[in-house]
Structure 1
Amino acid sequence: MWIRVILFLVINFLGLAIGGFFTGDGVPSEWYQQMNKAPWTPPGWVFGFAWTSIMITFSVYLALLYKKENRSVFILLYVAQVILNISWNPIFFYYRNTIFGLVIILALTALIYVYLISYFKALRWWSLLIIPYFVWINIATSLNAYVVIYN
Structure 2
Amino acid sequence: MEWSVFILFLGACCAAAATGSMFAPGEWYRQLVKPGWTPPDWLFPIAWTLLYLASAYAATRVAVLDGAAHAMGFWALQIALNTLWTPVFFGLERIRAGAVILVFLWIAVIGSMVTFLQLDMLAGALMIPYVIWVSYAGALNLAILRLNAGSTERSV
Note the alpha carbon deviations across 1:37-92, whole angstroms, 9 max, x for none. 12111111100000000010000000011023546535532332222111111111
Which residue number in structure 2 is paired with residue 20 of structure 1?
20
Which residue number in structure 2 is paired with residue 104 of structure 1?
101
Match of 1:63 among 50, 60, 65: 60
* Counterpart contact for 2:116–2:123, Cα < 8 Å: no
| Aligned CA distance change for structure 1 residues 145 and 69 (closer, same or farther; 3 Å) | farther
Overall identity of the aligned pairs, in %: 27
Inter-partner Cα distance in structure 2 for 1:125 and 1:62: 11
Which residue number in structure 2 is paired with residue 8 of structure 1?
9
1:120 Cα deviation from its structure 2 partner: 1.2
SS of residue matched to 1:44? coil
The reply to whether residue 134 of structure 1 matches residue 134 of structure 2 is no
Q: Tell me the TM-score normalized by structure 2.
A: 0.85
Output the amino acid matched with 2:10.
Answer: L
* Counterpart contact for 1:22–1:93, Cα < 8 Å: no
1:22 Cα deviation from its structure 2 partner: 3.9
Q: Tell me the TM-score normalized by structure 1.
A: 0.88
Which residue number in structure 2 is paired with residue 119 of structure 1?
116
The runs of 5 or more residues in structure 2 that have no matched partner are: 149-156
Aligned length: 147
Which residue number in structure 1 is paired with residue 44 of structure 2?
47
* Counterpart contact for 1:9–1:59, Cα < 8 Å: yes
Output the amino acid matched with 2:102.
Answer: I
Inter-partner Cα distance in structure 1 for 2:92 and 2:61: 36
Which residue number in structure 2 is paired with residue 79 of structure 1?
76
1:97 Cα deviation from its structure 2 partner: 0.8
- Bigger relative contact order, structure 1 or 2, given CA contacts below 8 A and separation 6+? 1
Inter-partner Cα distance in structure 1 for 2:70 and 2:60: 14
Inter-partner Cα distance in structure 2 for 1:14 and 1:104: 17
| Aligned CA distance change for structure 1 residues 55 and 75 (closer, same or farther; 3 Å) | same
* CA RMSD after TM alignment: 1.7
Structure 1 runs of 4+ with >6 Å offset: none
Inter-partner Cα distance in structure 2 for 1:69 and 1:112: 20
